[in-house]
Structure 1
Amino acid sequence: MDPRLFIGVGAFLLISGSARGSNDTTPLVIWHGMGDNCCNPLSMGAIKKMVEEEVPGIYVLSLMIGKTVVQDTESGFFKDVNEQVSFVCEKLAQDPKLKAGYNAMGFSQGAQFLRAVAQRCPNPPMKTLISVGGQHQGVYGLPRCPGESSHICDWIRKKLNSGAYTDAIQKHLVQAQYWHDPLNDDLYKQHSLFLADINQERVVNQTYKKNLMLLEKFVMVKFLQDSVVDPVDSEWFGFFVTGQAEKTETLQESALYKEDRLGLAEMDKAGKLVFLATDGDHLQFSREWFNAKLLPYIR
């Protein structure tokens, strides 16, 4: 989301000392959220630096969508998600440092985009996927989107409310591609260019399912005081019960899980799904928490 949401993260990350690790490490690929970019020193830049300090010798690739940080930021709002995923798949496949496999960590919308990479592009192999506040069942609202991109967010809200599933908005507005309207389920399934596809809402793509199940671990972090993601249960693959926008259901209560369209039920039984929760607003966590809860999946 907006890079200013990361200011607390950046401050926390600069406080603690670093631990020593092994040089024989699995590379890490990170993908930022809406309004952010690959290299912001208060967000992804701080995360990259912190991981490199905690795990000496690790190769960390912070994804840039475009040729500049400005293009990267704009892509998070306006570049077709399927095109972004294809771009990343090609970039990863061409990186010799990732040939033997990598771990992935996505922040906010970057998490669901990396899940699409796992489902569509198994080479090089993604070993562990860490979703930090990712909206895996989409969102139904943008309740808070502060900071320097607020004028863009206001415009996005108006477009989503007036016609999220029109061809023009679906094609050119990133947030429309994971807009999930529980009151118009058929419209969502028919016209969602991204989320309905990777969540197997129209047909079951067995390749998607097989590829996702290749993950060793799928870690999902939910922020209990999240004021950005609506509903927050989407961060654990839950969502509103279809037909209304008040009552939510968990992943385990959903048709996606019961029909096991993505293999999540089988992964859950095998101990591959990890559900973590932390107090705090969207993407707000300390270095101490990161080291204790997420670093073990990176080392």
Structure 2
Amino acid sequence: MVAHRNIMLWLAALVILGSCAAQTPIVIWHGMGDSCCNPLSMGSIKSLIQKNINGVYVKSLEIGSNVAEDTENGFFMNVNKQIDMVCQQLANDKNLSNGYNAIGFSQGGQFLRAIAQKCPTPPMLNLISVGGQHQGVYGFPKCPGDNGTICNLVRKMLNYGVYVSFVQDNLVQAEYWQDPLNEEEYRAKSVFLADINQERPTKNMTYKENLLKLKNMVLVMFLQDTMVQPKESEWFGFYEPGQTEKLYNMTQSDLYKNDYLGLKTLYQSGRITFLSSDSDHLRFTDDWFINNIIKRFLV
């Protein structure tokens, strides 16, 4: 009887370990003014995921050596440098070697898309962008959290000249700023967004090749968004060139029609999902996140 009981316990342990091992790891990247480990934001999201997916490994990206640096770097570290740092972090994490799902919040959404395009190893399986500004922004209406001093500095730098090289190289929000009244200068001087959106004369076709490796791209738009201008950027929409009122959607964009990035291929193969939340920027309930994100794409 003792031997039989020990065998049963051993088999049960194998089942539990196998179940945990089968869970795909998750990488999350916070937005502007936030950090990897804020208990009211990314810390809460990490806990919510872990409560609903038994044994899952969740990596919340930290850009810098501490929370303060992580927060500041979300404003003042060149995005391309951040991408390089994260690529190295992911490559060095043995928990991710067989692949991972990625969830980006606000600017973390387009940053993780850049990771998918530039760093295919380890493989990103599903990309979930929660309020990411994939066609950029044209406006800086307000700033989250207790970052008033930083936000005032950001506004001054944007007013100084968003496409001035010093601003482009040192201000994160300038690097995904798209001026529909001056598209030519944007394409010529944007150091980040114009590159990952294939808007330069020379196309990097490995970006398309790598993005097409995704199983799914999930795009979440907040219908009452007062942070992102225009909110349609969260679904790859933006202002038509030359004005700031009329908008185009993803399928009407040159980015989609030319398929330099693979959006058309992804969409026509059923691998792009558009979701919405009838709320302000990043304002969603636990139930919404569980039902729309965790249950549909992470388990």
TM-score in terms of structure 2 length: 0.92
Which of 121, 124, 137 is 1:123 aligned to?
A: 121
Provide the residue aligned with 2:131 in structure 1. 133
Quote the offset at 1:162 in angstroms. Answer: 2.7
Whether the 8 Å CA contact 2:33–2:144 is kept in 1: the answer is: no
Quote the offset at 1:151 in angstroms. Answer: 2.4
Which of 62, 65, 75 is 1:77 aligned to?
A: 75
Question: Secondary structure of the equivalent of 2:243?
Answer: coil
Provide the residue aligned with 2:249 in structure 1. 250
More contact order relative to length (CA 8 Å, sep ≥ 6): 1
Residue 184 of structure 1 aligns with an amino acid whose one-letter code is: N
Quote the offset at 1:291 in angstroms. Answer: 0.9
CA distance, structure 2, for counterparts of residue 34 and residue 113 of structure 1: 11
- Over the residues paired in the alignment, what is the CA RMSD in angstroms? 1.0
Whether the 8 Å CA contact 2:33–2:143 is kept in 1: the answer is: no
Provide the residue aligned with 2:166 in structure 1. 168
Quote the offset at 1:22 in angstroms. Answer: 5.9
Whether the 8 Å CA contact 2:226–2:280 is kept in 1: the answer is: yes
Does residue 227 of structure 1 match 2:226? Answer: yes
TM-score in terms of structure 1 length: 0.92
Question: Secondary structure of the equivalent of 2:233?
Answer: helix
Provide the residue aligned with 1:46 in structure 2. 44
CA distance, structure 2, for counterparts of residue 294 and residue 43 of structure 1: 16
Residue 255 of structure 1 aligns with an amino acid whose one-letter code is: D
Residue 210 of structure 1 aligns with an amino acid whose one-letter code is: E
Larger-Rg structure: 2
Quote the offset at 1:227 in angstroms. Answer: 0.3
CA distance, structure 1, for counterparts of residue 145 and residue 261 of structure 2: 36
Residue 96 of structure 1 aligns with an amino acid whose one-letter code is: K
Residue 90 of structure 1 aligns with an amino acid whose one-letter code is: Q
Quote the offset at 1:161 in angstroms. Answer: 2.6
Aligned residue pair count: 279
Provide the residue aligned with 1:7 in structure 2. none
**Counterparts of 1:1-299 in structure 2 under 5 Å?**
24-202=22-200, 203-295=202-294, 296-299=296-299
Quote the offset at 1:154 in angstroms. Answer: 2.3
Provide the residue aligned with 1:15 in structure 2. none
Residue 283 of structure 1 aligns with an amino acid whose one-letter code is: L
Whether the 8 Å CA contact 1:177–1:194 is kept in 2: the answer is: yes
Change (3 A) 1:166 1:268: same
CA distance, structure 1, for counterparts of residue 176 and residue 222 of structure 2: 19
Change (3 A) 1:158 1:89: same
CA distance, structure 2, for counterparts of residue 141 and residue 186 of structure 1: 18
Unaligned stretches of 5+ residues in structure 1: 1-20
Residue 27 of structure 2 aligns with an amino acid whose one-letter code is: V
Provide the residue aligned with 1:13 in structure 2. none
Change (3 A) 1:216 1:146: closer
Whether the 8 Å CA contact 2:163–2:189 is kept in 1: the answer is: yes
Quote the offset at 1:146 in angstroms. Answer: 4.2
Quote the offset at 1:229 in angstroms. Answer: 0.2
Quote the offset at 1:57 in angstroms. Answer: 0.5
Residue 185 of structure 1 aligns with an amino acid whose one-letter code is: E
Q: What is the CA deviation profile of residues 197-221 of structure 1, one whole-angstrom value per residue up to 9, with x for unaligned ones?
A: 0000002211000000100000000
Moved over 3 A (4+): none
Question: Secondary structure of the equivalent of 1:30?
Answer: strand
Quote the offset at 1:143 in angstroms. Answer: 1.2
Instruction: Tell which deviates more after alignment, 117-126 or 287-296.
Output: 287-296
CA distance, structure 2, for counterparts of residue 106 and residue 146 of structure 1: 16
